[in-house]
Chain A
Amino acid sequence: MTLNELIVKLCGMMTVSGNERHATRELEALIGPTFDEMKVDAVGNHLFLKKSSRKNAPKILIDCHLDEIGMMVSGYEDGGFLRVVNVGGVDTRILPAGEVVIYGKETLYGVVATSPTYLLPPDDTEKLKKITELLIDTGYSKEELQELAPLGTPVGFKPVYGKLMNGRIYGKAFDDKACGACAVWGIDAVPRSELAGDVYFLFSTFEETGMLGGRTGGFGVRPDYALCMDVTHAAIPDTPDLTLSPMGSGISITTGVICNRRLTRMSMDLCRNGKIPFIPEAATGSTGTNTNVLNNCAEGIPTTLWSLPIKSMHSAAEVLALEDAKALAAGVSAFIRSKEIAEVFGK
């Protein structure tokens, strides 16, 4: 398997926040062999452990969130249409005529309905609807839908993956399972004897809806230090006034108020020494990632935030650069090998 294939397989799973257990079996089969143990906790966090051969090894936490944004069924209309509400921040601009999958008692397919422009009043032809005003066309009757897709049934973007030039790939839910794939790839590459500590890989839940899983998962492990990995926005032409890094710059390492300064500096040194491309990113307040909750978890966890730049986040057509993903995976390997970091932050 290639890293590209692992990314596509992981991201293609349906893990809309609250439905992470939907993927447990698939996850176990796909990434279980990299680890010694796997457990699912009370809130659906999927925690994987790879033990080092060192005695009294420090606990290293690597957090990526398992959940993805999506929708859930909130009502039914005559003619076989569903109403939905968002789970997390769904990009509603991509929804009209978009394709979705309804994960009910049976897996159903749907198209987000739109009206022909020539039938709309002139003022409405450019108007975008709120997600609660949208209808999903399913090809089933209202009664059949009530049976097959009960209220609360998760609805996700139809997974479609493909390649652009220069090793760019597109698809849904790179946020954040693409980072998860890089973590697994990086952990898998390091033999047990070379690990600086026991590696706890936390595939956390409910990040998109308030970072619940990072908080409880961090507490469950009580690691000595942590690496939080999430996606960040790559620069696009629409964002000239934002200081976003161009795609292909490598790992985006955040210098932030709530990121551990020493661990961040050591992370950058690690990349410099290992010739792993990275680019610094600055965050004055919230990072919008689990770093927010890990940093303050229990007695506090020294945490560094590494990000994978993607375009069109929270859409069905996110784009990432494989070179960045490879840098991230190499960075993970270096991080869990690092005796220097283990000496400073280990017990």
Chain B
Amino acid sequence: MTKGIELIKRLSLAFGPSGWEDDVRAVIREEIGKAADSITEDRVGNLIVRVKGRGLDYNASKPARMMIAAHMDEVGFMVKDVTDEGYLKFSPIGGMDPRVLCGRHVMIHTDKGTEVPAMIATKAIHLQSAEDRAKATPTKKMYFDIGARTKEEGFKAVSVGDCGVFDSDFMTFGKDGAFLKGKALDDRLGCAALIEAIRDLHDSPCDLPFDVYFCFTCNEEIGISGAGVAAFTVEPDMALLVEACAVNDLPGVPGASRVASLGGGCVLTLVDSTALYDQSLTAFLRHTAEDQGVRYQIKQGTGDVTDGGFIQRSMAGVKTALLSVPVRYTHSAASVARYADYESARDLLIAALRNWKA
């Protein structure tokens, strides 16, 4: 595995449902090490990493500020109750598709610090009705099996409010191992790109006309954006969000409904459900990609929810653009991305910072 893939693997395996991003934060701190000028954690749990600018275009008395954001949190589950038979009732954290839950492995991290493996139990096919087979079971009817036989046993192992995430290994697959499979690629791919950019700026410093604030943010998946708080703290002049873009590039899906394609490079978004992105910033990214030979695609379609709008409407408004990595089957135990698409997002991020003209 290359260094980049190793980094993504470590981030993918970290435990971090919205509100419980501690492990991810620890991994990010460790991976950045001494490559940044400062690392601070704000009051809601955002990790803010500053890389200072320098050179002729840098106004040292009142430096311009660039915010680069990626969210640390992933979708997950929260324990709500234990039934008399020892099964756990749960609620999803974030937008969970009930179609991808039956039979999945889950790891619950308890408040006590223990890890409790669970299965999302499914009624065997022999016992399913025609309706069971045609329609996904709603999450409120699902339950975790942790092996407990009674309510008491269940509550000995877990407490109401304990959280879990998909228990899924990380691997490369497909021709030449070009594809990545794992949980939480949304948005640990973005986190990885930010970390690699920080390292790159540290390893071969350049004149940056602004201070860069790399923000690893909380609570994106539940729509209560930590990135908005980070933007308020940083007060950026402009912002670039690095995200995972949920795509539908499957056979039989017509052009525009595919959103974007794996293998097409990083994705530039003009508009989504939260924001119309800044045209000049997006154009700059586009030109940079063309100049540097970085593969990119323009997102087709306007759906998807991101932190973009929260940053854009922070304070008196922030020029914001969205750069993303196309990912299939987001919010499942087996998200799939192509490493080359990640590389193009990372490379464009670095190239944009190094070649800033605005």
Residues of A within 8 A of B (CB): 77-81, 89-94, 96-99, 108-111, 113-119, 125-128, 135, 137-141, 144, 160, 162-168, 170, 233, 236-239, 242, 246, 248, 288, 311-317, 319
Contact = CB atoms under 8 A, between A and B. Distances in A.
A239 B173 CA distance: 39
A128 B147 contact: no
B102 A94 contact: yes
A99 B181 contact: yes
Interface string B102-119: 111100000000001111
Contact of B251 (A89, A108, A135, A138): A135
B342 to A, nearest CB: 15
Contact of A164 (B118, B143, B248): B118
B105 A77 contact: no
B326 to A, nearest CB: 11
13 contacts: A93-B122, A93-B132, A96-B100, A97-B334, A113-B328, A114-B100, A127-B136, A128-B99, A138-B173, A165-B157, A166-B148, A248-B149, A288-B126
A132 to B, nearest CB: 13
Nearest to A86: B125
A189 B167 CA distance: 36
A98 B334 contact: yes
B154 to A, nearest CB: 9
Q: Which of B85, B124, B175, B304 has the most CB of A within 10 A?
A: B124
Given A116-B246, A312-B122, A111 B134 contact: no
Contact of A115 (B167, B253, B336): B253
B334 A99 contact: yes
A313 B135 CA distance: 19
Contacts of A233: 124, 126-127
Q: Which 9 A-B pairs have the closest CB atoms?
A: A139-B174, A164-B147, A94-B103, A165-B147, A97-B332, A77-B251, A168-B147, A97-B100, A313-B124
Contacts of A80: 174
B105 A239 contact: no
Contacts of A115: 248, 250, 253
Interface in B3-59: none
Given A81-B250, A312-B124, A97 B119 contact: no
A111 B126 contact: no
B121 A312 contact: yes
A67 to B, nearest CB: 16
B100 A317 contact: no
Nearest to B246: A116
A135 B301 contact: no
Nearest to A168: B147
B148 A113 contact: no
A236 B98 contact: no
A221 B171 CA distance: 46
Contacts of A109: 171, 173-174, 181
Given A77-B252, A91-B124, A140-B174, 19 more contacts: A79-B250, A79-B251, A89-B125, A89-B126, A92-B133, A93-B103, A94-B103, A94-B104, A96-B99, A113-B250, A113-B329, A114-B97, A119-B303, A125-B97, A138-B174, A165-B147, A165-B153, A237-B143, A314-B126
A164 B117 contact: yes
Interface string B83-99: 10101000000010111
A78 B329 CA distance: 18
Contacts of B149: 166, 246, 248
Nearest to A112: B334
Interface size class of B (residues with CB under 8 A): 35 or more
B249 interface: yes
Interface in B193-234: none
B123 A238 contact: yes
Given A79-B250, A319-B121, A242 B127 contact: yes
Interface of B: 83, 85, 87, 95, 97-100, 102-105, 116-128, 132-138, 143, 145-149, 153, 157, 167, 169, 171, 173-175, 178-179, 181, 246-253, 257, 259, 301, 303-304, 328-330, 332-334, 336
Contacts of A77: 251-252
A141 B262 CA distance: 13
B197 to A, nearest CB: 27
A50 B314 CA distance: 77
A322 to B, nearest CB: 10
B251 A319 contact: no
A99 B335 CA distance: 10
A44 B295 CA distance: 52
B121 A119 contact: no
B204 to A, nearest CB: 33
Given A127-B134, A233-B127, A237-B87, A94 B251 contact: no
Of A116, A248, A312, chain B has the most CB atoms within 10 Å of the CB of: A116
Contacts of B121: 236, 311-312, 317, 319
Nearest to B253: A115
Contacts of A141: 175
Nearest to A316: B103
Nearest to A138: B174
A243 to B, nearest CB: 12
A214 B135 CA distance: 35
B145 A311 contact: yes
Contacts of B257: 119
Contact of B122 (A97, A139, A140, A317): A317
B339 to A, nearest CB: 11
A128 B97 CA distance: 12
A246 B87 CA distance: 13
A245 B336 CA distance: 40
B128 A93 contact: yes
Contacts of A311: 121, 124, 145
Contacts of B332: 96-97, 114
Contacts of A116: 97, 246-248, 259, 330
